[in-house]
Amino acid sequence: MNMRNQWPVLPIVAGLASGLLTGCGTENGDSGSEGSSVVMGMSDDVLATDPASGYDPGSWLLFNNVFQSLLSFPKGATEPQPEAAEECAFTDTSTRVYQCTLKDGLKFSNGDALTSEDVKFSFDRMLKINDEAGPAIMFPMLEKVETPDEKTVVFRLNTADATFPSKIASGAGSIVDQKSYEASGLRKDGEAVGSGPYKLDSFSEDEAVFSVNEHYKGTAEVRNTGVTLKFFHGDQTALKTALLDKKVDIAYRGLAASDIADIEKADPGSGVEIVDGNSAEVQHLVFNMDDPVTGKPGVRKAIAHLLDRDALMEDIYKGTATPLYSIIPAGIAGHNTAFFDTYGAKPDKTKAAAALSADGITDKVKLTLWSTPSRYGPATDDELKAIAGQLNASGLFDADVKSVAFDRYEQDIADGKYGVYVKGWVPDYPDADNFTGPFFGEGNVLSNNYTNSTITGTLIPRTASESDRAATDSDYGRLQDIVAEDVPVLPLWQGKQYAVTRDNVYGLEYCLDASTVFRFWELSKD
């Protein structure tokens, strides 16, 4: 599996003290004023309005609200359920034929009827365009789409893939109107025609305006009359000022801890609250298995024995992330704590020294940790410096940190120039497959020269073909244990999601979960 999913991972409130976190928007959201419109400010840009191109957080936020998929993730859930479809199921035991029946009366926002031909068109178009910034790379298994009648869609796969329902439930499964899109070219007018809860009224460099789609027929219950999304292009000061001046109701992905502290210090009764939610965003140290230093198991295991995740969470991230002890994060079925079980939570110099000694290493290990300053969060450089400090404090390492721009960083990794480097990951869909196949399958995205025949030959194919996802727990547990023993990567942390909101806005807790779907329709405002 060769999947590109290295989105810009920006911890939303880097450094926010956990004691500041409060809940917001309880069931009172149901009584929010109908007819209210919500204004949200965001630091991320929306890079595409055409779902054949966008493969970034901002674009998928738009897709998840303007377009329907056959399936969707209900709030707080990691199992997809029917959305545009009335029902979907594998029709064979090998999980290679997946069939969906559409709901009656589906229409796009322009009034055109949505039929099975539009579904086929959407997938055929995405694969034909195969945009390098698009999600086609998620579907190497899709051989063809058939439409025996206007309500039936049949997907034929060339390999077994039990996670196919989760893939089509993501933004990559967005259905477009075949009358409004070219079959072989991207739409570049900034407009969109979908059948989701909202329609896109306008899109510019600084804002996108959404209104309720009167033709929508699906599971979402809309609690507002529209959403305006304002783009701040990374300008945290401008976003903070807009929130304080009540020009935006919500600040999503962009305010740092210092901004929150300034707000509370300036006016304790400012009416601003912090909402946090679960996230499946993760970060790892990655080891080049062909490097003369990190290619030695003793070096990797010594680092695993010396890493103090709790200190990193307290000193660097201030509670905005939690320690991660395996490659599959908490909240995703199949998660275990393999690295905790193998290496513990506290630094152990004795065990680290023993690991080095077992590899014949008696001198200090000279090591450079490679970083990139913003792609995986603004605290990444400081985090790696703290890790280097932990290693050096043991007396076993002589470690330093070097940080380079992302384009050079990626090229150097591909060229095998780094022994150890950092990678962040936000999943396409909340299934253990998306944290294992891309990392350890053939053509993995880590470029670290790690292969394990049990993982690639047995565990990944077997878990991919198992339609009962609960039945994969044992195999995923074994896979995680193998990774903890081999240490091609070292899990560091699992993130949280944050939004800062005026206290008259409700429903945000239904927008921040491991599915990564931000649900406009759950928002309401007094």
pLDDT in tens, 443-454: 788 999 999 999
Please tell me whether residue 352 adopts helix, strand or coil conformation: helix
Tell me: pLDDT of 9 over 70. no
pLDDT for 377: 78
Rounded to whole angstroms, how far apart are CA atoms 10 and 281? 10
Please list the alpha-helical segments (H only) found in 323-435.
Answer: 338-343, 349-358, 380-393, 406-414
Higher pLDDT, 463 or 516: 463
- 19, containing H or E segment: none
As a whole-number percent, the residues of the chain with pLDDT over 70 amount to 90
33-47, 144-158, 239-253, 457-471: which is most confident: 144-158
Q: What is the pLDDT of residues 268-320, one digit of tens each?
A: 666 788 888 888 899 999 999 999 999 999 999 999 999 999 999 988 887 77
Tell me: pLDDT of 16 over 60. no
Encoded tokens for 385: 């410096």
pLDDT for 318: 79
pLDDT for 56: 84
Rounded to whole angstroms, how far apart are CA atoms 341 and 323? 14
Q: Do the bridges between strand 365-371 and strand 397-403 make them parallel or antiparallel, or are there none, so unpaired?
A: parallel
pLDDT for 27: 34
251 Rama class: left (phi>0) / alpha (psi -120 to 50) / beta? beta
Tell me: pLDDT of 18 over 80. no
Q: Quick one: pLDDT band at residue 261, thresholds 50, 70, 90? A: low
Average pLDDT rounded to a whole number, residues 396-408: 96
- Burial code (b: 16+ CB inside 10 Å, e: under 16) for 217-250 equals bbebebbbebbbbbbbeeebebbbebbbeeebbb
- Nearest in space to 242 (alpha carbons), one of 258, 226, 231: 231
Tell me: pLDDT of 19 over 80. no
Encoded tokens for 7: 């989105």
Q: What is the pLDDT of residues 95-126, one digit of tens each?
A: 899 999 999 999 999 999 999 999 999 999 99
Place of tokens 């969707």: 72
Average pLDDT rounded to a whole number, residues 21-45: 58
Could you tell me which residues come within 8 angstroms of residue 245 by beta carbon, excluding any fewer than 6 positions away? Answer: none
pLDDT for 320: 79
- Nearest in space to 100 (alpha carbons), one of 150, 33, 36: 150
Q: Quick one: pLDDT band at residue 499, thresholds 50, 70, 90? A: confident
Higher pLDDT, 378 or 504: 504
Average pLDDT rounded to a whole number, residues 432-446: 89
Tell me: pLDDT of 232 over 70. yes
Q: Quick one: pLDDT band at residue 400, thresholds 50, 70, 90? A: very high
Could you tell me which residues come within 8 angstroms of residue 12 by beta carbon, excluding any fewer than 6 positions away? Answer: 252, 253, 254, 255, 320, 496, 497, 498, 499
Q: What is the pLDDT of residues 155-193, one digit of tens each?
A: 999 999 999 999 999 999 999 999 999 999 999 999 999
Average pLDDT rounded to a whole number, residues 510-514: 88
As a whole-number percent, the residues of the chain with pLDDT over 90 amount to 72
Tell me: pLDDT of 366 over 50. yes
Please tell me whether residue 214 adopts helix, strand or coil conformation: coil
Higher pLDDT, 264 or 222: 222
Q: What is the pLDDT of residues 51-82, one digit of tens each?
A: 999 888 889 999 999 999 999 999 988 889 99
Decide: 338 and 484 in contact? Cβ < 8 Å. Answer: yes
Q: What is the pLDDT of residues 379-397, one digit of tens each?
A: 899 999 999 999 999 999 9
Query: Mean pLDDT, the chain, as a whole number?
Result: 89
Higher pLDDT, 263 or 107: 107
pLDDT for 10: 36
Average pLDDT rounded to a whole number, residues 34-42: 85
Tell me: pLDDT of 22 over 90. no
Higher pLDDT, 321 or 356: 356
Rounded to whole angstroms, how far apart are CA atoms 496 and 306? 25
Tell me: pLDDT of 46 over 80. yes
Cα three-residue angle 42-47-49, rounded to 5 degrees: 105
pLDDT for 305: 98
pLDDT for 4: 35
Q: Quick one: pLDDT band at residue 94, thresholds 50, 70, 90? A: confident
Q: State the amino acid at position 34 in one-letter form.
A: E
pLDDT for 121: 98
